[in-house]
Amino acid sequence: MRLCLFHLPWLLLFSLVAKPTFSYSPERRSYLTHDYLVLEHNPAGGASLDECAGELGVEVVEQVGELQNLWLVRSVKAMPGILARSTRDNVRARYESLRTRAAASNAFWSRSGHQQRARRIFSSIHYLEEQVPRQRTKRDDSLIQRAPPPTTPADQIPDAASAVAAHLGISDPLFPTQWHIINPDFPEHMMNVTGLWEMGITGRGVITSLVDDGLDYNNRDLTENFDAAHSYDFNDHTDLPTPALADDRHGTRCAGQIGAVKNDVCGVGLAYGSKVAGVRILSGPITDVDEAAALNYGFHNVSIYSCSWGPPDDGKSMEGPSYIIQKAVVNGVQNGRGGKGSIFVFASGNGAMFGDQCNFDGYTNSIYSVTVAAVDYKGLHPYYSEACAANMVVAYSSGSGKSIVTSDVGDGKCSNAHGGTSAAAPNAAGVFALALSVRPDLSWRDIQHLCVRTARQINPGDPDWEWTATGRSFSYKYGYGQLDAYAFVTAAENWSLVKPQAWFHPSAIQVNNGSLLEENGEMTGGVPIARGGVSSTFTVTKEMMEQHNLEDIEHVTVRVWISHTKRGDVGVELFSPNGIRSVLAAPRSQDLDSTGFRGWRFMSIKHWGENPLGQWTIKILDQSVEGQNGTFHGWRLMFWGSAIDSSKAKTYALPSNEYLLPSLEEPETIDVPTAATTKFLPKPTLGLPDDHESAEGEADQPAFSGKPVGSASPTMTPTPDEGWFSDMSNLVYNSRWFFGALSVVFLFGIGAGVYLWRRRVGRRAAYSSLAVEDVAMTSVTGTVRPGVRAKELYDAFGEVSDDEDVDEEGHMLGASTQSELHAGFLDDEESAESSPRYRDDPEVGDDEQRHLTAVGRPDSVGSGSSWEHASQT
């Protein structure tokens, strides 16, 4: 007995800190000495992974997170400095050589058997992309000087709070100040969870992962609810997400909102019976491979991923997740949580005051994420919270004089200064944790349905509200309204699960032979965007719906190809057959980009449940500013919803090689659910101003005030050439780049933008040397599929990232790319001490040295650091 007692604390400590056997534990990276790439292996191509790696001269490091057939590989870095690019050159040269040998028609190669081998290997490499560590720079408000959290004297404790506290035995000292739980001044504005707690619903059994900058599990307010097994630090590649930098506070605060323990420290979390895990990615540069792994980390047992970060909210960026990150997200919704799907919760963004909109962010406008915007203490719209047609719900956060009270870094430390849409997302995640504890069988789409159905309208007089065809009210600012935990969870209790997902993705519509020329990246054809706008239509018939097994529609996504001398002047609107308008893009005055929209994908949930039969119209609007003009080249409408016949439901496959080159036969299976067009720009130093808390919100302005677009009558509606793929493939067939259908797009990522761009012509030449029959080898079945041509068409529209990595002067922008946290406060105050320490890197051990040599690159290991540019801000 004594022994047991003696050991108990140790056992507890061990069970907390030690990582139980867990399938996936990433290797430490050594960016100083190696270049990393991601390789997608196609086993059906006939060559083993080792063969492919050997041919490219790379070493296989590990599988990318939970993604099958995606592998992190590396090659030894060449001497830094003048030869800095030669490693890439080397891998690239080997790849090009492979391509040439695979394609060669001369007798020597084809007779020798070398060609068979080259073809086998070539067709076994689906995708290859360099991995450049990028700083997902966070912002937060921890450096703002504030008074210590108030301890409310007993006689001032609001009645409602003290009654609930007494009833539920809550003795957390700051509970009475947690207005988002009990709001004494505006009782209609709170998350409304206490009724559920009374029913014993506290989130038991559910794990939420905070993908953020760390989680202080040593704070007693979190220790008991911390889940170590599903936590990891991708910045320092250690097991536990320990906050290490001065400003690593954000993840801890978000975690407290969900899982702060009911004890005598700070306040309580909305789901205080649930567990929180921490996945640290925001405290230093990471690669897309690590971001992809982070979004699937522990995904069999983790239910919810709470993500309060994204591309810059500067009103001029337009960025989305890269291919492998999209793969991870699709993997999450299909295979996470025992196949019910990971719930990805994303903050809508803090850039509304810069005209930013969440439809310009490929994470928040993904159909797979629940996008959460903010309302404040008085239920008003805080000026930072971004609006868009992809906003699903709002949850409470800072503004009108109050912020969110939660846990902080340091044992027993609390924060009363948490805010931004960053704090709205975890409040929603907490509600979902409560619901999943009651109904663990809810799928990711059930959660979204419940949001749409149970969110409450607030500020009914706000002109931003509009009716949907289903009789619900929707607002770009509030989505379907305020997320009410009680309403959500009680509705979840008796909810009938939705049928499986189905989709209908009509072919792209070329407007006046609109196209995007691969040769020079220019978009051709199309119609000038006249004053008053131009439009194009597409008619959905009952047969189309039946053919695609689609019963009800949920998300509608729209890709557009528009060139414009100033992207921010463009407005995009979608009108349903029932006259419901979705503003997909409103003008953004700060967006001066001149590359236009090259297949950017917008999303609307405003048509949820609407009967889609009839004519859909897209309208492209322009500010018609003197000296600025643009052209509308084409668009593609895509519907997602539920299946008519569940037994015929298919599993959506995010294309691998088809990602860039869709197939002709099944256009509905080849579209990418999130943006292919990504452009990364350096982080702006502007965060949310200090007054995000004090500034009074509003409820009397439409989100998009710019042009009264609905009333602007189009003066010109050209008859679009509604070309189907057959038309387009004709166009494509004649082009040299058609042969790119050989299916591998060698995307040297962000850091190699210019390099690729310059080599482009040469690459095309290599394509064009291929005979048509060579196309056959791309097919896993060994037969020629007519769709191959259309794939290239998609490429024409879709492969833009290498262009867009280059700015007007031809500088590379990629290496300084950043995402940022939607907490957004005071980034300017980051001190030198906050520059990250990387444990991944420094010394190369003897073993590693030997290994490098074995790989065949005895070049000395340089002291130059890719981190320098990777971490620049």
Ligand X SMILES: *[C@@H]1O[C@H](CO)[C@@H](O)[C@H](O)[C@H]1NC(C)=O
The residue (of 325 and 436) whose beta carbon lies closer to ligand X is: 436
Which residues have CB under 8 Å from 632's CB, separation 6+?
511, 514, 526, 527, 528, 529, 534, 536, 560, 561, 562, 620
Q: Report the alpha-carbon distance of residue 693 to residue 380 in Å, rounded.
A: 12
**Binding of ligand X by 459 (CB under 6 A):** no
Query: Candidates 127-135, 253-261, 563-571, 580-588 — which segment interacts with ligand X by CB under 6 A?
Result: 563-571
Give the strands of the sheet with 134-137, arranged side by side: 285-286, 134-137, 818-821, 309-310
Q: Report the alpha-carbon distance of residue 554 to residue 676 in Å, rounded.
A: 22
Other CB atoms within a 10 A radius of the CB of residue 766 amount to 15
Q: How many residues bind ligand X (CB under 6 A)?
A: 22
**Binding of ligand X by 493 (CB under 6 A):** yes
Which one of residues 251, 311, 630, 687 is an interface residue with ligand X (CB under 6 A)?
630
Question: What does the DSSP assignment read for 651-671?
Answer: -----SSTTTS--SS-HHHH-
Contact present, 427 and 270 (Cβ < 8 Å) = yes
**Binding of ligand X by 565 (CB under 6 A):** yes
Question: Minimum Å distance from CB 26 to ligand X?
Answer: 15
Which one of residues 308, 364, 427, 490 is an interface residue with ligand X (CB under 6 A)?
490
Which one of residues 204, 220, 300, 472 is an interface residue with ligand X (CB under 6 A)?
300
Beta bridge partners of 834: none
The residue (of 494 and 863) whose beta carbon lies closer to ligand X is: 494
Which one of residues 290, 484, 658, 795 is an interface residue with ligand X (CB under 6 A)?
484
Identify the CA nearest to 181 among candidates 270, 262, 271, 255.
Answer: 270
**Binding of ligand X by 366 (CB under 6 A):** no
The residue (of 299 and 384) whose beta carbon lies closer to ligand X is: 299
Dihedral (CA of 300, 303, 309, 311) sign: positive
Which one of residues 175, 363, 486, 503 is an interface residue with ligand X (CB under 6 A)?
486
Contact present, 212 and 819 (Cβ < 8 Å) = no
| Amino acid in position 616 | W
Give backbone dihedrals phi and psi of 307, rounded to 5 degrees, phi first. -125, 110
Q: Report the alpha-carbon distance of residue 226 to residue 709 in Å, rounded.
A: 49
Question: 453 vs 191, 387, 466, 487, 674, CA distance in Å?
Answer: 16, 20, 16, 9, 25
The residue (of 234 and 825) whose beta carbon lies closer to ligand X is: 234
Question: Minimum Å distance from CB 512 to ligand X?
Answer: 5
Query: Candidates 488-496, 751-759, 761-769, 849-857 — which segment interacts with ligand X by CB under 6 A?
Result: 488-496
The residue (of 37 and 343) whose beta carbon lies closer to ligand X is: 343
Binding mask 795-834 for ligand X (x = CB under 6 A): ----------------------------------------
Question: Minimum Å distance from CB 194 to ligand X?
Answer: 6
The residue (of 58 and 394) whose beta carbon lies closer to ligand X is: 394
Question: Minimum Å distance from CB 492 to ligand X?
Answer: 9
Which one of residues 624, 629, 768, 865 is an interface residue with ligand X (CB under 6 A)?
629
**Binding of ligand X by 427 (CB under 6 A):** no
Beta bridge partners of 295: none
**Binding of ligand X by 627 (CB under 6 A):** no
The residue (of 727 and 859) whose beta carbon lies closer to ligand X is: 727
**Binding of ligand X by 20 (CB under 6 A):** yes
Would you say how long the chain is, in residues?
Answer: 873
Identify the CA nearest to 177 among candidates 356, 354, 406, 482.
Answer: 406
Other CB atoms within a 10 A radius of the CB of residue 206 amount to 29
Per DSSP, the three-state class of 366 is coil
Question: What does the DSSP assignment read for 591-643?
Answer: ---SS-EEEEEEEE-TTTT----EEEEEEEE----TT--EEEEEEEEEEEEEE
Question: Minimum Å distance from CB 559 to ligand X?
Answer: 18
Question: Minimum Å distance from CB 80 to ligand X?
Answer: 40
Which one of residues 468, 563, 623, 817 is an interface residue with ligand X (CB under 6 A)?
563
Q: Within 720-779, which residues bind ligand X (CB under 6 A)?
A: 721
Question: 353 vs 313, 356, 628, 850, CA distance in Å?
Answer: 9, 7, 24, 55
Question: Minimum Å distance from CB 377 to ligand X?
Answer: 15
Contact present, 253 and 183 (Cβ < 8 Å) = no
Residue 824: left (phi > 0), alpha (psi -120 to 50), or beta?
Answer: left
Question: Minimum Å distance from CB 60 to ligand X?
Answer: 25
**Binding of ligand X by 645 (CB under 6 A):** no
Pairing relation of β-strands 818-821 and 134-137? Answer: parallel
Dmax over CA atoms of the chain, in Å, equals 94
Task: Determine whether 507 is exposed, middle or buried from the number of CB atoms within 10 Å of its CB (0-12, 13-18, 19+).
Answer: buried
**Binding of ligand X by 562 (CB under 6 A):** no
Question: Minimum Å distance from CB 515 to ligand X?
Answer: 10
Query: Which residues carry out catalysis?
Result: 212, 250, 422
Which element (helix H / strand E) includes 395? strand 393-396
**Binding of ligand X by 564 (CB under 6 A):** yes
Q: Report the alpha-carbon distance of residue 135 to residue 130 in Å, rounded.
A: 16
The residue (of 337 and 636) whose beta carbon lies closer to ligand X is: 337
Query: Candidates 49-57, 72-80, 92-100, 624-632 — which segment interacts with ligand X by CB under 6 A?
Result: 624-632
**Binding of ligand X by 172 (CB under 6 A):** no
Helices within 363-510 (DSSP H only): 421-438, 444-454, 485-493
The residue (of 90 and 427) whose beta carbon lies closer to ligand X is: 427
**Binding of ligand X by 195 (CB under 6 A):** yes
**Binding of ligand X by 512 (CB under 6 A):** yes
**Binding of ligand X by 457 (CB under 6 A):** no
Which one of residues 75, 178, 192, 334 is an interface residue with ligand X (CB under 6 A)?
192
Which one of residues 301, 656, 717, 769 is an interface residue with ligand X (CB under 6 A)?
301
Give, rounded to a whole angstrom, the gap between the first and last alpha carbons of the chain: 57
**Binding of ligand X by 631 (CB under 6 A):** yes
The residue (of 413 and 566) whose beta carbon lies closer to ligand X is: 566
Which one of residues 116, 223, 513, 578 is an interface residue with ligand X (CB under 6 A)?
513
**Binding of ligand X by 568 (CB under 6 A):** no
Where along the sequence are the contacts to ligand X (CB under 6 A)?
Answer: 20, 22, 188, 192, 195, 229, 300-301, 484, 486, 490, 493-494, 512-513, 563-565, 629-631, 721
